[in-house]
Structure formats: C-alpha cells, structure tokens
C-alpha cells in the first residue's frame, strides 16, 4: 500500500482527465515523443534545404565550412554531450527520490547549457567580425561565388539559431524544474516532468550532433 505521503503526491499530481497515475505518465511521455517528432519535421525542412544546396554548390560550401572553428565546435559538442549525461543523472536521481542529487545535476546541466550558448555567442560574434554574416557587408575570401557562399552562412545561422532558440527554451524548462525540485514536488511516483524534459534535452542535443559535422566538417581532414 502506498504510504500517506506518496498517496498525497499522487492525488495532487493526478489530473482529472486521467484515471490512474500510470495513465497520466504514459500519456505525458507519448505526448513528448510526438512533440519531438514534430520537431524533427520542423528542423527537417532546413536540413533538406542544406542538402540540396550542399549538393549543387559543394566546393563553395566546403570553403565556407572551413572558415568555421572546428575546435570550438567540437568543444561545444562535448559540452552538450556532458550536459545530456548530467541530465540522465538528474532523471535517475528523481527516479530514486534523491532530491539533493537531482538539484545538483539539474544545476550542472543548466550550467553546461548556458556554457554552450555562451560559446555560440562568441562564435557568432567572430563571424560578424569576419564579415561572414549574410547581408550587404558579406564577403568570403577565396571564391567568386559570393551568393552561394552567403547561402551557406544563411543556413548556418538559421540552423544554429533555431537550435540555440531550442536550447534557450530548454534552459528555461531546466530552471522551472529546479524550482519545482527545490519545492520537493518530485517523487519516485511522480517525476514525469523531469523525465520528459530529459527527452527534450536529449533531442536538442542530438540535433546538434547532426549540425556539427554537417556545418563544421565539410571536406575537412585531420591536420588541414
């Protein structure tokens, strides 16, 4: 039999359209998966445009890609992968009811997420200084196809920008989770928000795992 605290948590958290906590958790989880599928389709349009233009303008895309700092991009990739790890640890902590661990791991994930955004801001600023931002002042050395080069960077900013927006929302969600964890809202019986936020965070991470090689590593070779 569930003890009084657990029953109370269950009752508080169970919404009236659901019959059982399990049904609610299943529905929430399925809902998040469905949402992530819509996000795949959303990003998909940009990936399609990227694929088409990379195919027809490969040399210019390779040149433009080489102007990106792959080391910084790789560092950012590592940052996000670590943040997914800390997120998994946070979910685990909530599953076994370790409130302090949960809070610590959420904070770590948030720090790593903010770090990613900070590095991104630094990269974008660099691009701005180098006149690689599409617009009247755009110029990429080494090619006569400035229009096509601008296409690469338009896609670069659109895709990393959309990704960064999703990261920002993710950081907002983490902050909310932190507040709720602090208030003790999550128990092993009710940690669904942490769980599905984890799904979202991993998804945003995976998008970056695709973005990094596609944008930073076109035709790159070690040592070049």
Partner 1 sequence: MITAAAQERETYLNASYGIKSWLLTKDHKRIALLYLFTVTLFFFIGGAFATLIRIELLTPQGGLVSSETYNKLFTMHGVTMIFFFLIPSIPATLGNFFLPMMIGARDLAFPRINLLSWYLLVIGGLFALFAMLAGGVDTGWTFYTPYSTTYSNTWVIATAIGIFVAGFSSILTGLNFVVTVHRMRAPGMTWFRMPLFVWAHYATALIQILGTPVLAVTLLLVFCERVFHIGIFDPALGGDPVLFQHLFWFYSHPAVYIMVLPAMGVVNELVSTFSRKPIFGYSFVAFSSLAIAVLGFLVWGHHLFVSTQSVYAGMVFSFLSYFVAIPSAIKVFNWTATLYKGSISFATPMLYAFGFIGLFTVGGLTGLFVASLGLDVHVTDTYFVVAHFHYIMVGGAIMGYLGGLHYWWPKITGRMYPELWARLSALVIFLGFNLTFFPQFILGYLGMPRRYHTYPDEFQVLHVLSTAGASVLAVGYLMPMVYFIWSLRYGQVAGANPWGATGLEWQTASPPPVHNFDEMPVVTHEAYDYTTVLGEVEVG
Partner 2 sequence: MRLPLFPEQASNFAPETDHLLYFLLAVAVFFTVLIFGAIFYFAIRYRRRSDRELPRVLHTGLALEIVWSVIPFGLTMIMFGWGADLFFRESRPPANALQIYVVGKQWMWKLQHMEGQREINELHVPAGRPVRLTMTSEDVIHSFFVPAFRTKEDVVPGRYSTTWWTPTKPGKYHLFCAEYCGTNHSRMIGWIYVMEPQEYQTWLSGGRAFGSLAENGEKLFQDLACGNCHKADGSGRCPNLVGLFGRNVQLADGRTIKADEGYIRESILQPNAKIVAGYQPLMPTFQGLVTEEGVLQLVEYIKSLGRQPGTTPAEVSPNPPAPKNQ
Residues near partner 1 (CB under 8 A): 15-19, 23, 26-27, 30-31, 34-35, 37-39, 41-46, 48-49, 52-53, 57, 134-135, 145, 147-148, 150-151, 154-155, 158, 162
Q: Could you tell which of partner 1, partner 2, none binds residue 209, using a CB distance below 5 to 8 A set by kind?
A: none
Whether 184 and 17 have beta carbons less than 8 Å apart is answered as no
Residue 212 · residue 74 · CB < 8 Å = yes
Six-digit token string for 5? 């605290």
Closer by beta carbon to partner 2, 148 or else 195: 148
31-90: contacts with partner 2 (CB under 8 A): 52, 57-60
Residue with tokens 């490969």: 58
Say if residues 57 and 151 touch (Cβ distance below 8 Å).
Answer: yes
**Which residue, chain included where needed, has tokens 């989770």?**
177
Question: How many Cβ atoms from other residues are within 10 Å of residue 175's Cβ?
Answer: 13
CB-nearer residue toward partner 2: 21 or 60: 60
- DSSP secondary structure of 149-198: HHHHHHHHHHHHHHHHHHHHHHHHHHHHHHHHHHTT--BTTB-HHHHHHH
- Our finding on whether 176 is near partner 2 (CB under 8 A) is no
Interaction of residue 154 with partner 2, rule CB under 8 A: no
Residue 128 as a binder of partner 2 (CB under 8 A): the answer is: no
Q: Which is nearer to partner 2, 204 or 218 (CB)?
A: 218
In the complex, the smallest distance separating the C-beta of residue 86 from partner 1, rounded to whole angstroms, is: 28
Q: CB nearer to partner 1: give 105 or 190.
A: 190
Residue 208: Cβ within 10 Å count: 25
Question: Which tokens sit at 115?
Answer: 């770090």
**Among 216, 195, 187, 207, which Cα is nearest to 6's?**
187
Total Cβ atoms within 10 A of residue 120? 19
Out of 28, 29, 98, 143, which residue is the one contacting partner 2 (CB under 8 A)? 143
Least distance from partner 1 to the Cβ atom of residue 113, Å: 23
Q: Does 152 bind partner 2 (CB under 8 A)?
A: no
Q: Which of 210, 194, 221, 195 is nearest to 77 (CA)?
A: 210
In the list partner 1, partner 2, none, the entry touching 44 (Cβ below 5 to 8 angstroms by class) is partner 1
The token duo for 136 is 């009247």
Q: DSSP 3-state assignment of 73?
A: helix
Per CB under 8 A, the list member of 144, 184, 221, 222 interacting with partner 2 is 144
Residue 143 interaction partner, one of partner 2, partner 1, none, beta carbon < 5-8 Å per kind: partner 2
Residues found near partner 2 in the complex (CB under 8 A): 52, 57-60, 143-145, 148
């Amino acid at each position: 039999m569930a003890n009084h605290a657990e029953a109370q948590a269950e009752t508080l958290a169970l919404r009236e359209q659901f019959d059982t906590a399990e049904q609610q958790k299943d529905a929430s989880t399925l809902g998040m998966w469905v949402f992530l599928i819509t996000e795949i389709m959303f990003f998909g349009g940009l990936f399609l445009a990227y694929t088409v233009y990379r195919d027809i303008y490969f040399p210019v895309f390779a040149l433009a890609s080489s102007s990106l700092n792959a080391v910084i991009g790789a560092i950012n990739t590592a940052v996000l992968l670590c943040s997914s790890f800390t997120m998994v640890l946070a979910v685990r902590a909530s599953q076994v009811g370790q409130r302090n661990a949960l809070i610590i791991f959420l904070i770590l994930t948030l720090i790593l997420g903010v770090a990613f955004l900070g590095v991104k801001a630094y990269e974008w600023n660099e691009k701005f200084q180098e006149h690689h931002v599409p617009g009247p002042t755009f110029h990429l050395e080494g090619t006569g196809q400035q229009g096509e080069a601008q296409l690469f960077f338009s896609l670069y900013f659109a895709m990393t920008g959309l990704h960064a927006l999703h990261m920002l929302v993710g950081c907002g969600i983490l902050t909310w989770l932190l507040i709720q964890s602090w208030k003790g809202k999550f128990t092993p019986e009710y940690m669904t928000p942490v769980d599905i936020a984890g799904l979202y965070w991993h998804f945003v991470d995976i998008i970056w795992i695709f973005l990094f090689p596609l944008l930073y590593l076109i035709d790159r070779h070690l040592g070049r």
